[in-house]
A and B are shown apart, each in its own frame.
Chain A
Amino acid sequence: MKILNLKPLKSLKTLMTASVLSVTLAMPLNTVQASEQEVNVYSARKEQLIKPLLDAFTKESGIKVNLITSKADALLKRLEAEGMNSPADLLITTDVGRLYRAKQVGVVQPAMTEDLKNQVPVNLQDLENYWLGLTTRARVIVYANDRVNPSELSTYEDLTDSKWKKRICIRSSNNIYNQSLVSSMIAHKGEQATADWTTGLVKNFARKPKGGDRDQIKAVAAGQCDLAVVNTYYLGQMLNSNDESQKAAAQSVSVFWPNQADRGTHINVSGVAITKAAKNKDNALKLVAFLLSEESQRWYAEANNEYPVIDGVKISDTLKNWGSFKSDELNLSELGKNNIQAVRIMDRAGWR
């Protein structure tokens, strides 16, 4: 009986041995040493949009920063599971809903000092010192230059007008920024009015929600719809893209700031909170101060076209071109509070 040709089996064995060896070698990688000055960050901001600042902080202060980036909800769950032994000192999120939730589930502490709080507008921070906004992101209407006259536009509410039938593109209601927009509507207009507004908006969709914010802008540029509701920094990224087709698409649309005559344009923030289990609280506060410094704020304005939360920061040309705008001064905690209601309303309206 000729069965054996052992060669592959042997190589499999070699492979196994090699793998086991490499585990042993690589293991010490994970031990975080407690002796040196450090701060541990859980960030929902993507690495590209936080690491350069953290490196600058380390260079300036000598404090080492350890980083994990992930989705905000996963980070919250991880903080919960790790409890008081969690290594994290600082939580960074890209929307206020998650900061609100972090406060609700008790994984962050009221540690923001007066000094820090004074730098940030009151509506962009937690009244009980749990979190601070770091940058502002505005959700605006963009319109096709050749098919829409900006004088036809006025408010978010007006988007339900029948003149926009089959002309609006917007992404899925899974998206947190859409959830926040609807939450703000609940805070201002109440649930019933918001439910009616959502139903009206869905009727005016040009297509089923799909893709991200950039895709909505591209769809406007290509003529599939005439209006889109998006965050400004996506348009900013497209305008500054290396890809000529993206650039051309972005140039064929313009920004309209909704609700300038009344409450102002809807905004959200990326923000920061100190964790309850923080063991390097002082260093964490130093890092927060650094993120609020003019240098960091300018970096966000330039690298990602987000709006600074402190005054007097030089902003990018892209932001300058869009002009200044009046933002909604609703305290952002309201967005977190209304989020669940917002999702339900969107579900019932058939906003997928």
Chain B
Amino acid sequence: MVALLLTMPMWILVSFVFEPTNENWQHLTETLLSEYIINSLWLMLGVTFGTLLLGVPTAWLISQYQFFGKGFLHWALLLPLAVPAYIIAYTYTGLLEFEGPVQSYLRGVFSTQTVNAWFPEVRSLGGAIVMFSLVLYPYVYLLSRAAFSNHSQQALEASKILGAGPVRRFFKIALPMARPAIIAGLTLALMETLADFGTVQYFGVPTFTTGIYRTWTGFGDTTTTVHLSLILLAFVLVLMLVEFWSRKQAKYFATNTSGHAKSRFIQLKSWQSITAFIFCLLPILFGFLLPALQLLYWAITTAQSEFNAEFIQLIWNSFFLASVTSVVVLVLAVFLVYAKRIQNHASTNYAVKIATLGYAIPGTVIAIAVMIPLGWLDNTLDTLMRDWFGISTGLLLSGTLFALVFAYSFRFLSVALQTVDSGLNQVKPSMDESARTLGASRFNILKNIHLPLIQTSLLTAFILVFVEVLKELPTTLILRPFNFNTLSVRAYEMAADERLADAGLPALLIVLTSMIPIIILSKLIGRNHA
């Protein structure tokens, strides 16, 4: 029931299937559709490679070894998550474009021809892949780190005793056991890539999402817009099914939950320690430090606006919206995942799957899909009330924070679901059964056994949703109430007006505000595992 309500926007979208296609659709299939599909596929392939490369090894190092700077890297590896993809795209363009400082400097050192010949173009498909990988790998890192450190320890211990080397241990034991978590993280990264508009638009890479926007803004044609979104969804659905089937046989549960033993981190020797440190530092350097410094530089040297009381309000609005949404989404996610666990009905499973799809839909399309039913509901209620009681209720839900939180919940539920689900999956069902045998109620099992066991996943989900909402743009822009501004809206308005320097301060504040929960909750998670 809850799932049904939450997936309402999805049904609105699907209902468009019955709208006949028009000449815009035909035009698209004749001209651009194949290009959209090919570019989107390349992008996904590239981001898969990039996020796995950055996310999995760092997670492995952090979860297994003790080395220089680990306490810092442990949470700092999450920081790039706080940088919106389009912002990192702007900062790197500023640095690396033809007329930017790096190329200009190189042209001074070498000849212009040499530099032109080999310096890669930032604003390209390849550039977009690098940008996405840099800001999205934390999903893979976070989820696989949790899996590595939580549940594969005993198997690893055992294999170590049996004489397996570190490489073998990683590929034969850890990787297969952590696979559901890694895939979950990867799925999130890919879905976010598919839904992105700002970056690909700025880089001039025509993908599905740019096509969706173009159809909407150029043709003013909602039907074709939604049809395109549905194809996008079909994409994601296929992805999810492939993953679902491929792991059907394999279910991994921790055999014993007392596995959270004291630290068994392997101490790395000096040069190994430094290598590990540098390897883990690189993604932070390029995904966070460099862009943040560029933003800071802009904010200090060239921005026309300065920090004032208005920004306090912006920070508060952003923070408030993100906290509320995170709590709502977390409660919904636990409810759904738990319903799935105890009922295991096909219908519940499908509802959960469908609710997950929201993350791949561009925020704009979600905003439309929320706006239409809420507007209809409000206006119908208003008409009824007028007819029966002669009073006008006006718009009760449309244009309120409720509409906004509802849209976020639909969009970001996936983030929380994947995280909580992969946490709960690792708690073996026999524990539920024992507790039931001992007479515990369902609620008691949830409260006293599951929630404490998966608290790491819960905190992780909280961070992820919080940061997502903080940097989310299109939905906020479209659905917000009167006089309600957030940091991301401010950053966007400046950037959209091509005033990048003025976007520096709000963008920097998004990053700083995101750091608060990342640091606090990472400390909590860390303490929990120490």
Contact = CB atoms under 8 A, between A and B. Distances in A.
Contacts of B525: 8
A264 interface: no
A5 to B, nearest CB: 6
Contact of B368 (A70, A77, A340): A77
Contact of A3 (B257, B458, B502, B524): B257
Interface in B471-521: 474, 477-478, 480-485, 489-490, 493-494, 496-499, 501-502, 521
Contacts of B462: 12, 15
A40 B301 contact: no
Given A9-B455, A77-B222, A101-B220, A40 B482 contact: yes
Nearest to A176: B217
Given A15-B327, A22-B323, A69-B493, A74 B477 contact: yes
Interface in B1-53: 24, 27, 31-32
A38 to B, nearest CB: 10
Contacts of B394: 85, 87
Contacts of A74: 364, 367, 474, 477-478
A198 interface: no
Contact of B371 (A67, A77, A174, A242): A77
Contact of B99 (A1, A104, A105, A221): A221
Given A16-B327, A69-B493, A249 B480 contact: no
Contact of B324 (A19, A73, A219): A19
Interface in A69-119: 69-74, 76-78, 80-87, 101, 104-105
B204 interface: yes
B452 interface: yes
Contacts of B326: 19
B496 A46 contact: yes
Contacts of B304: 242
B483 A66 contact: yes
B213 A211 contact: no
A128 to B, nearest CB: 19
User: Size range of the interface on A?
Assistant: 35 or more
Nearest to A210: B204
Nearest to B482: A66
Interface string B215-230: 0111110100000000
A4 B258 CA distance: 10
B217 A1 contact: no
A348 interface: yes
A85 B477 contact: no
B398 A82 contact: yes
Nearest to B219: A340
A47 interface: yes
Interface residues of B, number: 87
Chain B interface mostly: helix
A224 B112 CA distance: 12
B375 A81 contact: yes
Contact of A70 (B324, B392, B477): B477
Interface in A111-157: none
Nearest to A1: B258
B214 interface: yes
A88 to B, nearest CB: 9
A48 B310 CA distance: 13
A135 B417 CA distance: 49
A112 B260 CA distance: 72
Contact of A85 (B302, B368, B382, B499): B382
B210 interface: yes
Interface in B445-470: 449, 451-453, 455-456, 458-459, 462
Contacts of B484: 29-30, 68
B244 interface: no
A180 B379 CA distance: 35
A179 to B, nearest CB: 6
Interface in B72-124: 93, 97-99, 104, 123
A261 interface: no
A82 B204 contact: no
B202 A210 contact: yes
B401 interface: yes
A352 B204 contact: yes
B92 to A, nearest CB: 13
B14 to A, nearest CB: 18
B324 A23 contact: yes
A218 to B, nearest CB: 5
Contact of B485 (A27, A47, A49): A47
A214 B222 CA distance: 31
B24 to A, nearest CB: 8
A208 interface: yes
B305 to A, nearest CB: 8
A243 interface: yes
Contact of B493 (A48, A340, A352): A48
Interface in A219-239: 219, 221-222, 224, 234, 237
A55 interface: no
Contact of B257 (A1, A105, A174, A214): A1
Contacts of B216: 73
Contact of B379 (A9, A84, A249): A84
Nearest to A42: B482
Nearest to B27: A344
A7 interface: yes
Contacts of B97: 215, 218
Interface string B178-213: 000000000000000000000001111010001001
A339 B214 CA distance: 12
A219 B478 contact: no
Interface in A26-57: 26-27, 29-30, 32, 40, 46-49
A104 B220 CA distance: 11
Contact of B217 (A66, A73, A214, A249): A73
Contacts of B528: 5, 7-8
B395 interface: yes
A242 B302 CA distance: 5
B482 A32 contact: yes
B372 interface: yes
Nearest to A174: B214
Contacts of A15: 323, 327, 462
Contacts of A49: 497
A7 to B, nearest CB: 7
A12 B401 contact: no
B378 interface: yes
Interface string B263-304: 000000000000000000000000000000000000001111
B351 interface: no
Nearest to A243: B302
B399 interface: yes
A11 interface: yes
Nearest to B101: A245
Residue of A2, A20, A22, A344 ringed by the most chain B CB atoms within 10 A = A344
Given A7-B527, A77-B222, A85-B395, 6 more contacts: A3-B449, A8-B525, A20-B327, A49-B497, A67-B483, A219-B99
State the 9 A-B residue pairs at the shortest beta-carbon distance, nearest first. Answer: A81-B375, A210-B204, A222-B99, A343-B218, A66-B482, A74-B478, A8-B524, A46-B493, A243-B302
30 contacts: A2-B258, A2-B260, A4-B452, A5-B527, A8-B524, A8-B525, A12-B458, A12-B462, A15-B462, A22-B323, A30-B482, A46-B497, A48-B493, A71-B217, A72-B217, A73-B217, A77-B222, A78-B371, A81-B371, A81-B374, A82-B395, A85-B379, A172-B201, A174-B210, A179-B218, A241-B501, A339-B220, A343-B219, A344-B31, A347-B31
